[in-house]
Amino acid sequence: MECFEVTGGTALTGRVRVTGAKNSALKLMAAALLAAGRTTIDEVPDILDVAIMSEVLRRLGCDVTYERHAVGGGGRLVVDVPDRPGTETDYDLVRRMRASISVLGPLVARCGSARVALPGGDAIGSRGLDMHISGLERLGATIESEHGFLVATAPRLEGTSIWLDFPSVGATENLVMAAVLAEGTTVIDNAAREPEIVDLCAMLTAMGAQIDGAGTSTITVDGVPGLQPVTYTTVPDRIVAGTWAIGAVMTRGDVVIERAVADHLTVALAKLSDAGAQVEPLPDGLRVAMDGRPRGVDVVTLPYPGFPTDLQPMAVALAAVSTGTALITENVFEGRFMFVNELVRLGASVRTDGHHAVVRGRERLSSAPVLATDIRAGAGLVLAGLVSDGVTEVQDVHHVDRGYPDFVEQLRGLGARIERVQRPD
Ligand code: UD1
């Protein structure tokens, strides 16, 4: 088992560079399936999930190569897509990474059929697929569930109007990727507005798709007969940037986050200002500095442009060492407070009730062995370890490696005392 040993007590200071967003790069890789030939995607983070998505594409007959850049944790990925890709994605891959289901839309659109394993539950909630399925059905696909697979068939897709009950990121992406090759016009209402959706639509547009309204709640897609491969650069990762920003505030440090886009973190940065931090947008990044102890601030997670659910564990960790009491409300994933029990092991005063957590701030936390339950919970626990007395051992860090390239190296570059160690299982 791999663990992080985090020694508390040092402030994060210096410069760190963020590469492309995991939650965009994985979808851009799926979008490559929409055109035969060689698509190049730059600033793809060197993380396990990208390796898993590469394997998904290889099993569909693509040739995938990855060349890492010298600095920044990103690299250039080349996907060579055959004229007739395969149509099946197995449970062993979907189980390891839920985002594998984003090949569903492109495969149905391009090949007229797809068999993709059902992902099942995961550590942050039940995560339904109903909107992916009903949207594809409205576009003309027939979808059945058999032996743990979603089986979709659609000799042709036809443009339609789709209303999403919730602005789901994954459903919006799958439906846009199906609609780009449908006949006629598709209008998706109550669509997700995340920067990663805008990024996907920008790449699809560069490939020849006709898309209007990306970044708003109504996306209109005029289907085209075919798309061409392109060269495209992934949008910077706002969740990684937000993690370093919150870490700077918690440790009372001073960090320049190169390539961070302040406009993609408006609510989160406003919360950090409310906590007393100095937040300064720079031409190519962002500076966050903190003097003294932060003030507790209430946080409510919501679809973009609301406070991101992926930064909620870091917000709870911040409140745990702030003055006063903060109310954190989780509205996106019902299981996302599971990690709170681990934070309590570090001496945090947190009570949860349904989708609310009441956090009473303490001056410092107290080190203990804790378990990373998912990517973001793991990152939140490491930040908590940085403000704990003694050495905190964060276990099961393979979760963190799924979302943060060079996590230990980047933190060490900012002065943190953190080591990756092997422990017997
Ligand atoms: C993506 C991100 C994840 C982020 C989330 C919200 C990836 C790989 N993951 O996840 O990191 O936390 O967006 O910004 O990009 N839902 C349904 N039915 C559906 C679809 C979704 O009930 O058909 C529900 C989910 O259970 C969840 C909520 O909608 O409660 C949000 O899900 P969604 O926005 O789809 O998130 P993901 O795309 O899974």
Is 122 an annotated catalytic residue? yes
Q: What is the mean pLDDT of residues 303-321?
A: 98
- Tens of pLDDT, residue by residue over 377-418, are 999 999 999 999 999 999 999 999 999 999 999 999 999 999
Torsion of CA 365, 368, 369, 373, to 10 degrees: -30
What is the percentage of the chain residues whose pLDDT exceeds 90? 94
pLDDT of residue 124: 67
Q: What is the CA radius of gyration of the chain?
A: 21
What is the percentage of the chain residues whose pLDDT exceeds 70? 98
- Tens of pLDDT, residue by residue over 133-189, are 999 999 999 999 999 899 999 999 999 999 999 999 999 999 999 999 999 999 999
| pLDDT at residue 108 greater than cutoff 80 | yes
pLDDT of residue 126: 66
Mutational pocket test of ligand 1: of 94, 168, 175, 400, the residue with most ligand atoms within 8 Å of the beta carbon: 168
* Rounded-to-integer distance, Cα 338 and Cα 111, Å: 40
Residue 294, CA atoms < 13 Å, CB-side half-sphere: 36
Residue 27 among known ligand-binding residues: no
pTM beyond 0.85, yes or no:
yes
Q: Which tops the pLDDT comparison, 182 or 122?
A: 182
Ramachandran quadrant class, 390 (left: phi over 0; alpha: psi -120 to 50; beta: rest): left
pLDDT of residue 121: 61
Q: What is the mean pLDDT of residues 228-232?
A: 98
| pLDDT at residue 125 greater than cutoff 70 | no
pLDDT of residue 72: 87
Residues 6+ apart with CB under 8 A from 224: 180, 181, 208, 209, 210
Which CA distances in Å does 207 have to 195, 229, 252, 273?
18, 6, 45, 40
| pLDDT at residue 3 greater than cutoff 80 | yes
- Tens of pLDDT, residue by residue over 329-363, are 999 998 999 999 999 999 999 999 999 999 999 99
Question: Which of 97-101, 104-108, 159-163, 315-319 is least confident?
Answer: 97-101
Residue reference for tokens 């442009």: 305
pLDDT of residue 119: 86
| pLDDT at residue 101 greater than cutoff 70 | yes
For residue 99, report the distance from its CA to the centre of ligand 1, in Å: 10
Torsion of CA 201, 207, 209, 212, to 10 degrees: 30
Structural contact between residues 278 and 288, judged by C-beta atoms closer than 8 angstroms: yes
pLDDT of residue 122: 64
* Rounded-to-integer distance, Cα 241 and Cα 239, Å: 5
For residue 116, report the distance from its CA to the centre of ligand 1, in Å: 17
- Tens of pLDDT, residue by residue over 31-52, are 999 999 999 999 999 999 999 9
Catalytic residue among 90, 122, 222, 396: 122
For residue 196, report the distance from its CA to the centre of ligand 1, in Å: 13
| Ligand 1 shell residues, CB under 6 Å | 23, 26, 99, 125-132, 166, 168-171, 309-310, 332-333
pLDDT of residue 271: 98
Residue reference for tokens 């007395």: 389
* Cβ burial 215-244 (10 Å sphere, 16+ → b, else e): beeebbbebeeebebbebbbbbbbbbbbbb
- Tens of pLDDT, residue by residue over 274-305, are 999 999 999 999 999 999 999 999 999 999 99
| pLDDT at residue 88 greater than cutoff 90 | yes
Q: Which domains does the chain have, with CATH numbers?
A: 2-15+237-422 (3.65.10.10), 24-233 (3.65.10.10)
Query: How much is the mean pLDDT over the chain?
Result: 96
* Rounded-to-integer distance, Cα 371 and Cα 382, Å: 10
pLDDT of residue 424: 83
Residue nearest (by alpha carbon) to ligand 1 atom 15: 23
Residue 177, CA atoms < 13 Å, CB-side half-sphere: 30
